[in-house]
A and B are shown apart, each in its own frame.
Chain A
Amino acid sequence: MTKLKLDRRRFLGSAAAVGGGFALGWTVPGTLEAFAQKQVGDAGSEVGIWVVIHPDDTTVVRIARSEMGQGTLTGLAQLVADELDADWSKVRTEFVAPEENLAKKRAWGDMSTGGSRGIRTSVDYVRKGGAAARMMLVAAAAQQWRVPAGECVAADSVITHATSGRKLRYGQVAAAAAKLETPKDVPLKDPKDWKIIGKGVKRLDTAEKLNGSLVYAIDVKLPGMLNAAIAQCPVFGGTVKSFDAAKIKAMPGVHSVVPVGENAVAVVADTWWHAKTALDKLPITWDEGEHATVSDATIAEFVKSGLDGPQAALGQQQGDVDAALAGAAKTVEAVYGTPFLNHATMEPMNCTAKVDGDKCEIWVATQNGDAALAAAAEAIKIKPENVKVHKTLLGSGFGRRGMTDYVRQAVVIAKQVPGKPVKMIWSREEDMQHGFYRPITQCQLKGGLDADGKLVALHARLAGQSILASVAPSRMDNGVDKLAFQGWLADELGYMAVPNLRIDMGVRNTHVPVGFWRGVNHNQNAVYMECFIDELAHAAGKDPLEFRRAIMTKNPKHLAVLNAVAEKAGWGTPLPEGVHRGICQNGGFGSYCAAVAEVSVDAKGKLKVHRIVAGIDCGYAVNPEQVARQMEGSFAFGLGASYFGRNTVKDGRIVEANFDTYEVARMADVPKIEAHVLASGGFWGGVGEPTIAVCTPAVLNAYFAATGKRLRTLPLSQHGVV
């Protein structure tokens, strides 16, 4: 179970499932007491920096990354616990406080949780952390027995001296082990010896979510806390010209009205409702800036110009695609497009902050504890050493909570209300209209087939917005945003056997802020590629699976997953009347995925997805059950977005304000998903994002099979099919 640490000096164990055997427990949810963990007798012993062991064998694994439902918390604990040879039933977790990571010069490594990297970039050092702790515990037992450590065996939190049969529990030697030096040379287990890694163990954070005891950032309540509602300029890039605080100062509960940076105003009150009610009545004059006339139409035209323009950033190329297209027996051309999308996290942006002089404390849901700490320090120009961060579990992140805008705002507000904690919550409208959207893009694809119907030339030209130009220009590769080509560069594209290939892009950056949306550019790129490959297959008169196989000869891992999923879906076997199949594959975030969708379309043209069979090869799967759940969850998120998701722009601002106009999937929209974890071992691939790329193209291709109509733009709702 997770734990939020209040006192930086004492790392305390956390509660088992509510009602379980420890004296600790969450008390009233949402109150300060929920953060104050009572000590269980003696405090635990730190055996290396990753593990704390209590006298009763409770084993606390320290977690540096964030947990947003993707299961990384449990997975990381499994990695440590297996090498530690701990009894899994005794394992709990606690977050490393970012200020502790800073004080120890990032001894716990990168806290950032995104890019499907939480497990795969931690595996080496967290396993070593567990293994080192085991070595120290064994050494301590061996010392106590005065026997060679080599004669001792550790399993399930118990050390046994093989020759004499004597036993010591971890809890009995932890204090002595903590005094030993951390070993330098730490061998790791062979994967065949894993007992916890690779098992579908139950997650450690489920119970508290089900019984309501979990305190999310939005639930935080602190003594004397005030609440803030914020309004940012509706037009991106605009600023506050003036506001008339006097008009609302006398409204119920209002404490103060404060500017927040150049583009926002906040009302601070006793309750959030009072703050929001007053904010709605606050006269604010905006300077909407130069983008106030931007609309969907101007954006579409601007983006389209990137398809035709000569200047393009190159992703990759091989052969001579222009000559090959000119000489092809048959060519196919199509233009696709996808819209801006909000992350629409369940928990809207919020952060609680308290500023006392040059010190600051924040309670926040973030995908990067280090970044939140640094952002808080920089927002009010204090030393990073004077910032404390309480990390909570996230009510969804999807990439939105890697941004720190809401952290900076809360801290800037709190600085103007010194000494009092202030919880700032964005309304759903604020959240929907001030996101970091999935970028808008269009794509023109041209394919050339030879006389045998084989794909010999492929040119994909993207046009649209670069995320890195907006968020992290210093990460660009000589001015080129390589992330825009996700799924299509040589390390990810499953069709490297196509002899003539060009992937390029006409960058068109609008004023709408963009960011990383779960799956990032794989989402639309897989739609463009996999639907166009399907178009080519049909033009060639070939089965879509066969057509792909012929050009996947250089990509055995992609092909293996595609074949496995096709087989499990029964590709090629007869289907019930009116049901049709679509197939697709994608490589991304170090993993390989494929999906087959079965759909029917009724007399009114409405689409129904009956079944999706999907698979991922992520190399090693720390928790196969969790990997399967991630596949399912990503489909619920991805299909919903493809069905209904669209953020439109009018007068420089986002139009959709809430879930009435930005719909998400409902239970009836998500079909039965058969999720297959095809972990082939030997590498660590990402899990949180790769699969989202394959749900939509499979459905779109199946729709074509059912109707003969090709849908090339999303969302599907605009075509009247959902």
Chain B
Amino acid sequence: MRGTRSRTRRGFLRGLGLGAAWLLAAPWRARAATPPPVTPRIEVPKDPAAAIKSVIGDAKPTKGKVALDMPYITETGTSVSVAVKVDSPMTEADHVTAIHLFADGNPVPRVASYQLGPRAGRAEVATRIRLARSQRVIAIAQMSDGRFWSDTREINVAQGACVDDTEGTLGSGSRSPL
């Protein structure tokens, strides 16, 4: 393994909370391969319900099987840890094919889609996301039997004092896009 180290880079990675074990492995300098043709950007509707529909069609997910773990409160929303676990045997016969994440108060309401299969072993992902304001995050699991399951979590962005949060989707009586 090879790659260059720099003090600030180490500091940055330590700052990510990845722990000392990561520092034992030399970092890979990510190599740029020959660029393939630029794939067209996936367009996301601005309306959260439409954004969800653009992914799962008219399907109505059932609440359950999905556990979305994230804090209830964040100060700025610039980096919120999110973990999604889906209850599934992940066998050939019965597995999660995709996990979709949405944020109903973001300018682009779609956050990510993860494609899985039996080789994943566990239908679990963890990542960090940005949230523009207090809102709901929705995780939808798409199963091999064609069914959809979901979990929704509210999160409050408690920023500052002088920034008004009344445009946020929480507390303004807005309905969940699901």
Contacts and interface: CB of A to CB of B under 8 A. Distances in A.
B75 A475 contact: no
B36 interface: no
A105 B133 CA distance: 16
A105 B160 CA distance: 19
Contacts of B156: 106, 370
A474 interface: yes
A126 to B, nearest CB: 15
B72 interface: yes
Interface stretch (A182-190, A377-385, A551-559, A612-620): A377-385
Determine chain B's interface SS by DSSP, over half rule: loop
B17 A383 contact: no
A110 B73 contact: no
Given A121-B166, A474-B77, A114 B71 contact: no
Interface string A384-402: 1000000000000101011
A384 B73 contact: yes
Interface string B145-171: 000000000101011111111110001
Interface residues of B, number: 26
A117 interface: yes
A112 B79 CA distance: 21
Contact of A115 (B74, B77, B107, B161): B161
A355 to B, nearest CB: 15
Interface string B9-21: 0010000010000
B56 interface: no
Contact of B72 (A112, A117, A384): A384
Contacts of B107: 474
A346 interface: no
Contacts of A401: 161
Contacts of B162: 112, 114-115, 367, 399, 402, 515-516, 520
Contact of A368 (B71, B77, B161, B166): B161
Nearest to B81: A381
Nearest to B130: A474
B161 A374 contact: no
Contacts of A484: none
B11 to A, nearest CB: 7
B111 interface: no
Contact of A373 (B73, B133, B163, B171): B73
B71 A371 contact: no
Nearest to B105: A474
A706 B121 CA distance: 83
Contacts of A381: 17
Contact of A105 (B72, B75, B77): B72
A331 B44 CA distance: 49
Contact of A474 (B74, B133, B166): B133
B163 A471 contact: yes
B161 A475 contact: no
B50 interface: no
B82 interface: no
Contact of A374 (B158, B163, B171): B158
Nearest to A261: B15
B98 interface: no
Contacts of A399: 161-162
Contacts of A370: 73, 156, 158
Contact of B160 (A66, A114, A262, A383): A114
Interface string A354-374: 000000000000011011011
A384 B160 contact: no
A474 B165 CA distance: 11
A110 B161 CA distance: 10
> By CB atoms of chain B within 10 A, which of A105, A110, A371 has the most?
A371
Nearest to A520: B162
Contact of B75 (A114, A121, A262, A375): A375
A616 to B, nearest CB: 19
Contact of A383 (B71, B75, B133, B159): B71
Given A370-B156, A474-B132, A378 B75 contact: yes
Contacts of A384: 71-73
Given A370-B156, A474-B77, A474-B133, A117 B164 contact: yes
Contacts of A102: 72-73
A264 to B, nearest CB: 14
Given A121-B166, A474-B133, A378 B74 contact: yes
Contacts of A696: none
> Chain A contact residues: over half helix, strand or loop, or mixed?
loop
Contacts of A515: 162
Contacts of B75: 371, 374-375, 378, 404
B73 A516 contact: no
Contacts of A516: 160-162
Contacts of B167: 475
Contact of B158 (A368, A397, A520): A368
A132 interface: no
A113 interface: yes
B73 to A, nearest CB: 5
A403 interface: yes
Given A474-B132, A474-B133, A377 B160 contact: no
Nearest to B165: A110
A472 interface: yes
Nearest to A403: B160
A231 B125 CA distance: 40
A375 B44 CA distance: 31
Contacts of B77: 474
Contact of A114 (B73, B132, B161): B161
Contacts of B132: 474
Nearest to B158: A370
B133 A371 contact: no
A389 B60 CA distance: 41
Contacts of A472: 76, 159-160, 163
A402 B161 contact: yes
B91 to A, nearest CB: 34
Interface string A402-424: 11100000000000000000000
A371 B160 contact: yes
A399 to B, nearest CB: 5
A397 B161 CA distance: 10
B160 A112 contact: yes
A625 to B, nearest CB: 25
Nearest to A474: B132
Interface in B83-109: 107
Interface string A68-108: 00000000000000000000000000000000001001100
With most chain A CB atoms within 10 A of its CB, the pick from B71, B73, B74 is B73
Contacts of B161: 66, 112-115, 367-368, 371, 397, 399, 401-402, 516
B89 to A, nearest CB: 30
B164 to A, nearest CB: 6
A403 B160 CA distance: 6
Interface in B12-42: 17
Contacts of A402: 160-163
A383 B164 CA distance: 25
A115 B164 contact: yes
B46 to A, nearest CB: 11
A351 B158 CA distance: 19
A475 B163 contact: yes
Contacts of A403: 160
A468 B167 CA distance: 15
Given A109-B171, A113-B161, A262-B11, 4 more contacts: A112-B165, A368-B161, A404-B75, A515-B162
6 contacts: A114-B160, A374-B75, A375-B75, A377-B71, A377-B73, A474-B77
Interface of B: 11, 17, 71-77, 79, 107, 132-133, 154, 156, 158-167, 171
Among all A-B residue pairs, the 3 with the closest Cβ atoms: A402-B161, A114-B161, A367-B161
